[in-house]
Structure 1
Amino acid sequence: MIFYLSGFAAFLLIGVPVALALGLASLTYLFLTGNTHLLIAFPQRMIAGVDQFVLLTIPFFLLAGNFMNAGGITEEIVKLAQTLVGRVRGGLAAVTVVASMMFSGVSGAATAEASALGSVLIPAMKRDGYDARYAAALVATSSILGPLVPPSLALILYGVLTGTSIGDLFIAGIGPAIVLCLALIVYVLIKAQREGHPVSPVLDRAARRRSFIRGAPALLLPVIIVGGIRSGVFTPTEAAAIAALYALLLSVFLYRTMGFGSFWTALYETATLSAGIMLIVAMASMTAFVLGFENVPKHIAVAMMSMTTEPALLLLLINALLLMLGLFLEPLAALILVMPILSEVIRTIGLDPVQFGVMVVLNLMIGMITPPVGLCLFIVSAIGRVPIEGVSRAALPMIAICVAVLVLVAFVPEVTLFLPSLVAE
């Protein structure tokens, strides 16, 4: 196993993309250990990793988000958020957090949120006199709300890997997302009072009405997804296809901003991003095969259980492991790598798989905004044209807030399980 880990770390350090690093490390392991007879199993494992009907939800949900973006939904969501919370000191910062929460129901991916909202809100915050580093850090931190609510790609993959109900995961993620959203709003409002951030201009009544009329239909998308799945009207895969169709109809007939050019652009972006995600899933499946061949999941589970059998301490160990992993690995790849290992542990301590899934996803998303490799930080740094070091420093207090919410999710099951149990009744 040392051969595999050394090879994987070396490939990452020289800048090899994660998907290729996973595959090359697996091949390196086979040749260095003399297990080349297993080469025939690699294509089979790659195909088996992506040959699952429910994984069709990923390109369909990505397509729905791209259709919404082509329809100008980002600007409409920002206007709607400004109508709701923009009339206080530091209102534009609060708008950023609320808009991210709303946009979560459209994109389902942190990087998509950071790109779409960052291009609109970072320039707006800079014009209002906010520090560019703070504006970029706030957009990056708020973007991790996306993977906590439907249609979260990370929760979908966790559900596929563990056999957990995707509908339950979607509902369970809403509670922690609301808690994190409120915590960030409190932080930005307190900071606004201390540093004298500006008060955003108040929209007139006609503008507020227009923002509700144009922004509200987009917010129905997660309601349609969760409601349809929970009521049994359609499966998660069918829900994703319906979401894409709904987004297309809104963009063409309500927003009327999608032409053939933007339509094909949405298809192209969906195809390229989906291909990248599926390649990561396929390559990570090879890695999971190597881990299984070496019996690594069982060995690590036994090692963790030998340290302590106390559930609270095991949760702390798991979260520490995930936080370190999230610093260097893309969340979807990390999920495929760690779930065979952690499934053994959570079965032993009797942790609810729905609660655990939300905890794992939130944990890995914190890695997306944590130096040195936080992808969302690099995205907003490029958009805001500010040094990554400055964005990283500005993000530290908000990262601390995210970690505090993570602790709450890990040790207070009601935060995640209250809504699923309420819906079940």
Structure 2
Amino acid sequence: MIAALIIFAVVLVMGVPIAFALGLASLGYLFFNDQLHLLIGFPQKMIAGTNNFVLLTIPFFILAGHLMSAANLTRQIVLFAQTLVGRVRGGLAAVNVTASMLFSGVSGAATAEASALGSIMIPAMKNDGYKAEYAAALTAAGSILGPMVPPSLALILYGVLTGTSISDLFLAGIMPAILLFALLLAYVLYRARRDGHPLPPEVPPEERKGLALRTLPALMMPVIIVGGIKGGVFTPTEAAAVAAVYALFIGVVVYRSLTLSKIADAFYATATMTAGVMVIVAMAGMASFILGIENIPREVAQGMKELSSSPWVLILLLNIILLVLGLFLEPLAALVLVMPILNEIAPAIGMDPVQFGVMVVLNLMIGMITPPVGLCLFIVSAIGRTPLEKVAREVLPMIGLSLLVLLLVAFVPTLSLALVMIFGG
């Protein structure tokens, strides 16, 4: 097993995609343990890993997000956020955070949010006198709101891997996301006073007129998804298809900004992204098979129990491990890889599976903005054309706020479960 881990680490450092790194490590395990006869079962394990009806939600939600972005809704949401915030000192930074919260119900993925909003907000903030590294760091921190609000791809995958209700997971992520949004907004206003940030430009009257009504159809998507599932109108998979059709409808009929070429580009982007996700799931199925042969999930769980019998200590230890893992692995790949282990540990903690899922996903998302290898940091650094180390310094206080929310999710069940209990989960 040590040889497999070395192979995995080496090829990952070499820049090999995570999916192929998992596959090569699994093959290395069979070779060094003289078990190549098991290779015949790998295709079966790969197919079994992707042969889940609920996984159909992923391409449909990805398609809905791409159609919304192609319909140029990002600018509409930014203008609406600017109207909500008004002309306060540091207002454009507050618009950045507010737009991240509003856009989170459209994208479902941190990287999509960082790219879409970053391309608008980072240049706008730079032109208004903000430091490029601060604008980039704020965009990166706001991007992790996306995976906490429906339609969240990470929460969907967690639900598929554990059998947890996806609609309950969607509801459970909303309150932590709102809390993180409020903390980021407070930080932005504090920085505005401290650093003397400028007043934002006023939204032109001709653009402000009817802006709320024009933005409302886009903001209704998470309401339709969660309301439809909890109301028994459709299943999570059907909800994803409804979301895609709804995005196509409002893009073509309501906003009239979706052309045939944009729709084709959205389908192409969806196909490539879905293929990447499914390859990761398939390869991680091989890695999970190897972990099962070595009985590693049970041994890790037993080792943690021997370290301490206190659930609080186990939760802290688990969060530290997940934070480190999130530094190096893309969240979807990390979920597929570690869930066999986490499923063994969760009963010892005694945490509700819905709360546990929100904690795990938020933890891995924080890794997306944590130096030195947070993927969202690379995206915003490229957009802002500013060195990664400068962005990393600016994002550290925001990571601290995210960790505070993570601790509250871990130790205050009501934060994530209140809406679930209200709506009968």
Q: Return the TM-score normalized by structure 2.
A: 0.99
1:87, CA displacement in angstroms? 2.0
Give the match for residue 216 of structure 1: 216
Residue 323 of structure 2 corresponds to which residue in structure 1?
323
C-alpha distance in 1, partners of 2:333/2:31?
23
Other structure's SS at 1:94 match: helix
Question: Does residue 55 of structure 1 match 2:50?
Answer: no
- Alpha-carbon separation, structure 1, partners of 2:86 and 2:151: 26
The letter for the 2-side match of 1:283 is M
Unmatched tracts of structure 2, length 5 or more: none
Give RMSD over aligned pairs.
1.0
Q: Aligned-pair distance for 1:202? A: 3.0
Letter in 2 for 1:407: L
Question: SS of the counterpart of 2:144?
Answer: helix
The SS at the match of 1:414 is helix
Q: What secondary structure sits across from 1:15 in the alignment?
A: coil
SS across alignment from 2:133: helix
**Match for residue 168 of structure 1?**
168
Moved more, 244-253 or 337-346: 337-346
Task: Tell me the amino acid that sits aligned with residue 119 of structure 2.
Answer: S
| Residue matched to 2:73 | 73
Q: Over residues 331-378 of structure 1, what are the superposed CA-to-partner deviations in whole Å (9 max), with x where a residue is unaligned?
A: 011111111111111112321000000000000000000111100000
Q: Deviations along 1:214-257, whole A, 9 cap, x unmatched?
A: 11110000000000111111011100000000000111111111
Structure 1 counterpart SS, 2:191? helix
Q: Distance in 1 between matches of 2:124 and 2:210?
A: 20
SS in 2 for 1:424: coil
2:237 equivalent in structure 1: 237
- Corresponding residue for residue 367 of structure 1: 367
Establish whether residue 146 from structure 1 lines up as the match of residue 146 from structure 2.
yes
Q: C-alpha separation between the residues in 2 aligned to 1:17 and 1:253?
A: 39
SS in 2 for 1:112: helix
Q: Which residue of 2 aligns with 1:348?
A: 348
Alignment-derived partner of residue 283 in structure 2: 283
* Whole-angstrom CA distance in 1 between matches of 2:155 and 2:68: 21
Deviates more, 1:235-244 or 1:345-354: 345-354
Name the amino acid aligned to 1:164. Answer: T
**SS where residue 80 of structure 1 aligns?**
helix
Structure 2 residue matching 1:119: 3-state secondary structure: helix
- For 1:385 and 1:4, locate their aligned partners in 2 and report how far apart those are by CA, in whole Å: 38
More displaced 10-residue stretch of structure 1: 310-319 or 202-211: 202-211
Aligned partner of 2:107: which letter?
S
Distance 2:204 2:15 in 1: 51
Q: Does 1:127 align with 2:127?
A: yes
Matched residue type, 1:91: G
**Cα deviation, residue 205, structure 1:** 5.2
- State the distance in 1 between where 2:405 and 2:422 align: 22
* Counterpart AA for 2:177: A
**Aligned residue in 1 for 2:9:** 9
Equivalence for 1:409: 409
Give the aligned partner of residue 193 of structure 2: 193
| Letter of the 1:178 counterpart | I
Identical amino acids, percent of aligned pairs: 64
Are residues 86 and 17 of structure 1, via their aligned partners in 2, closer, same or farther at CA, if it must alter by over 3 Å? farther
- Unaligned ranges ≥5, structure 1: none
1:256 aligns with 2:232: no
| Mapped contact 1:86–1:92 kept (Cα < 8 A) | no
Partner of 2:182: 182
SS state of the match for residue 252, structure 2? helix
The aligned residue for residue 41 of structure 2 is 41
Q: What does residue 22 of structure 1 align with?
A: 22
Give the aligned residue type for 2:26. Answer: S
Deviation at 1:121, TM superposition (A): 0.4
Separation of aligned partners in 1, 2:206 and 2:223: 27
Larger CA deviation: 117-126 vs 79-88: 79-88
Deviations 1:68-124, CA, capped at 9 Å, x for gaps: 111110000101111111421111111111111111111100000000000010000
Q: Distance in 2 between matches of 1:45 and 1:300?
A: 23
Query: How many Å separate the matches in 2 of 1:306 and 1:209?
Result: 63
The 8 Å contact of residues 327 and 374 in structure 1, kept in 2 or not, is answered as yes
* Count of residues in Structure 1 that have an aligned counterpart in Structure 2: 425
Conservation of the 8 A alpha-carbon contact between 2:90 and 2:197: yes
Between the aligned partners of 2:57 and 2:22, the Cα distance in structure 1 is 24
Do the aligned residues in 2 keep the contact of 1:381 with 1:388 (CA within 8 Å)?
Answer: yes
Letter paired with 1:75: R
TM-superposition CA deviations, 1:186-222 (whole Å, max 9, x none): 0010000110101113335553333212111100000
Say if 2:79 and 2:203, in contact at 8 Å, map to a contact too.
Answer: no
Note the alpha carbon deviations across 1:375-403, whole angstroms, 9 max, x for none.
00000111111111111111111111111
Counterpart check, 1:93 vs 2:93: yes
> Structure 1 CA distance, aligned partners of 2:234 and 2:418?
24
Give the distance between the partners of 2:336 and 2:21, measured in 1 at CA: 14
Q: Residue 327 of structure 1 aligns to a residue in which SS?
A: helix
- How many angstroms apart in 1 are the aligned matches of 2:65 and 2:342? 31
Letter in 1 for 2:53: F
Cα distance in 1 between the residues matched to 2:42 and 2:261: 39
Letter matched to residue 34 of structure 2: G
The answer to whether 1:106 aligns with 2:106 is yes
- Does the 8 Å contact 2:145/2:177 carry over to 1? yes
Task: Provide the C-alpha distance between the structure 2 equivalents of 1:97 and 1:251, rounded to a whole number of angstroms.
Answer: 24
Aligned partners of 2:315 and 2:349 also within 8 Å: no
Q: Which moved more, 1:20-29 or 1:80-89?
A: 80-89
CA contact (8 A) 2:304 2:314 kept: yes
> How far apart are 1:309 and its partner, in Å?
0.9
User: What is the identity, as a one-letter code, of the residue corresponding to 1:165?
Assistant: S
Aligned residue for 1:399, secondary structure, equals helix
8 Å Cα contact 1:86-1:94 kept in structure 2:
no
